[in-house]
Structure 1
Amino acid sequence: MKVIKVQRLILANLFCLALLLFPCVSHALNIQDVPNPQQVNGTWVTDMANIISDSTETQLNQMISELESKNGTEIAVVTVAETTPSASPKAFTTELFNHWGIGKADEDNGVLFLVSVDDRRVEIETGYGIEPILPDAKLGNIIENQITPRFKQGDFDGGVLAGTKALINTLQSKSTDSLSANSTDISLSATRRGTIALIGVGGILLSWIGYRQFNKISTPILLKPMGRSRLHGVSNPKQKAYLIAYMGIVLATLSLGLFLVVISLKLFNIKFAISWFIFSVVTGFPLAILATNKYYVSPSWHCSDCGSPLKRVRPSLVRASLTKPEKVARNLGSVKFEGWECRPCSQKMQLPLMHIRAYVVDSRSYIQCPICQELTMKHSATTITSPTEYSTGELRIIDDCKCCDYYKEKIETIPSLPSTSHSSSSDSSSSDSSSSSSSDFGGGDSGGGGAGGDW
């Protein structure tokens, strides 16, 4: 009987111990158990301790969203019952901050405002980029004056709201101050100086290329006093010179203005940069015209035998000297012809010497006929059967010369279209991943900066 009583006593003690330990196990919280508000519904507040009213939560989300839209800063507000089994509320807060990646990855401008009710502890964790704006002393002051006095009175709504407002006000004012300060200090940045110098070098290089272009188009073109030459495309070197000179002058003006203002006046901001860029573009065009008109010399054709300048021949005389295929090509608009005459050589030879220069204008619609040896053959392609993923198609190609009787027709096979099932699945997976990543925090990091307080 005694043995049975002892066994019952042991079982009763174990049962009581289990009852005592059960709440501790059930309240144990890991960072993975805390719902990420950005992933859940795209908001900023997770109230696991259920101490924030719906109206206050709505107000918090609105204020943080406005801050994030203005300067990209992300603030997460989290309430939990307790932070065990973490070593401390501070350790839990730091781990949760980095697990969610609060703040933008390239700026680390995130803040985590955590309240642990059973621990009676407030922790505010900051990213690396926020630490200069919200140092530990500043955070301690906000916690001591704005948050914990209200928590001691049981006013969790008021404490969380007042603390968040204080954080937002500081972040807004400090970001504005930093921008205004950087407007004068930006001239000291080596990177921006290098960028301005690179723009200047680009302007000088383009100006040099434009000068070379001027020399090139000013150099006389030597042609045989009698013969034919062909050039693809109607040459317009003056238009090319205008473009090069314009780009070079714009870049040179832009870099010179930025350099003088930044180095001399120590003042630079984005509005000034945009205004000066518009000024450079507007003034660069007339400057380019002036420079081109000053240095540009119309292309001249000279005789390769005697060096005398050639004279343009009347179009009617050029047409009379063209062959039948050349006349057809001229009428089709695929080739343009000009005639040039060396009068000293013509007088010396007592013959009307003329050099006919052909410019290929349209080599897409018309191709060279194998018989006429000129761009007189119309090339067309018509789809007979369109291809699909499961079958090939057919294409009818017709070559029809407008000068002679040459005609050729052939049918080519069009390969089947590639399957879209794999690409669509990959697109859907990529869109899913992008949508999921877009509803998360920006990937910021924290090194443990911040402050905390008890109430």
Structure 2
Amino acid sequence: MLKLHLFKSLSLLFFLFAVNISFAQTAYKVADIPDPKKNGGGYVSDPDKILDEGAISSLNSTIAHFEQETNVQVAVVIVNDFDPDQEDFDFAYELFKTWGIGSKTSNNGLLLFIAKDRKKYRFITGTGIEGVLPDVKLKHIAEQQLLPAFRKNDFSTGITNTINATGEIILNPENKSELNQFFTQRDGSNALNIWWLPSIAIILAFFGVFKILNRQGKNGLYIEGFDKNNSRDTTIAKGCGVIIFIVFVSVFIFVFSGSFNIFSNIRGAHIPYILFAVLAIGLFFRYLFCISALRKAHQDDKNFFDSVLVFHKKNWWLILFSPIILFAIIIHFIKRAKTVDRFKPVMDSKNNPMTRIDRDINIEGKPFLTEGQRKEEVVLAYDYDIWESADHKEHIIKAWPAEKYSSYIECPECTFRTYKLNKQVTVKQATYSHDGQAKLINECSFCKKTEFIKWITLAMLVESSSSSSSSSGGSSSSSSSSSSWGGGSSSGGGTGGSW
């Protein structure tokens, strides 16, 4: 009998313990509170499902209206319990700072935090909203709207009435005007400081850089390589400017119109960085144009490398505005280092140093180079250095592989390295209605020896569907709510209490 009584007592204790465990509530830490902005884009966090869905939906709509009208951000958090080692003020204040409720520049955020089991509520206000919602006014709202409903365990009604009462104050024409003015002043002045002034400074700085390069060109540093009558040179020069303009304008439009998801997180503060990157790329192409002009100005490789070295010494500071230029400078340095042995004086039969013929003066290399050798230079298969003795009686010609050396082989007929393999020659252009045709041949650029290999069918052109797909993809990017808070902060203003 005693054993049976003991068994019943233990069973009852076990049952009560199990019931207690099953009904135990989660004590949330700040990091555990779900951020509604990251879970659907709302303003209410209710992880313990204390409020009904209708109330949450209504609160989200009401608070969204507040933000649309006044730029004020309001967050509502209700849980059963929170970290037992923290007081309600400390917990709510830390949560406010962690989420960054309100605008970063105007700090116009408001948090209503409720702990059901502890019967605690707490308002935390951002510094920019304390004048409109002082502690005394929030305390009065809580006593009139929040606490009576909470004492009846009607949390949905209490929170809804409290938010509505708060909204009446926020949306009051006088207060609304004050909030908007404060937001505009803070955001406007900061926007000017954050991106307008730096952007203007960046534009002026790069304008000065381009001006300096243009002046150097006019002074003869590299302008002799630019042919104004050459449509290709003119197109490249104008194209660089057009590309820079189009890219910057496109980014500007996408940022402020929200046309693509990729730009959804870009803000005005990012504009100086984007502008610098675009102009830095533009400057890099301008640099390449200068080097290209020097290349065209000098048939002689040594003169070209020397002129590039002078250009780099004079304009090393360009890497401060476009760091990628540094890589191009390093590449040119490596190429120059490889030519050290090439330009060492050659000795004649009397062991006297010979003079290298300046190919900028004697471009055709006459009378030393044959027409075939000159053709090898034209197709960039070989570069020829011509060395002449002091008495002009001895001449030595040295061949050096040029940029397209590997693209040619020796012609079986004329023996010059001007024979290009597998050259495709279009006979009939492909269109949207029929295929095209081309022939694959081996051809010598000098003696014109041609060897037919085979015919090739060129595939019929197909209209691209990228425009339709991009338009359909872009339509899904619109969103009416922000995916994050504004980065606001609080000095600890607000009020709280219990019921």
TM range (shorter): 0.3 to 0.5
TM-score (norm: length of structure 2): 0.40
Say which one has the larger Rg: 1
TM-score (norm: length of structure 1): 0.43
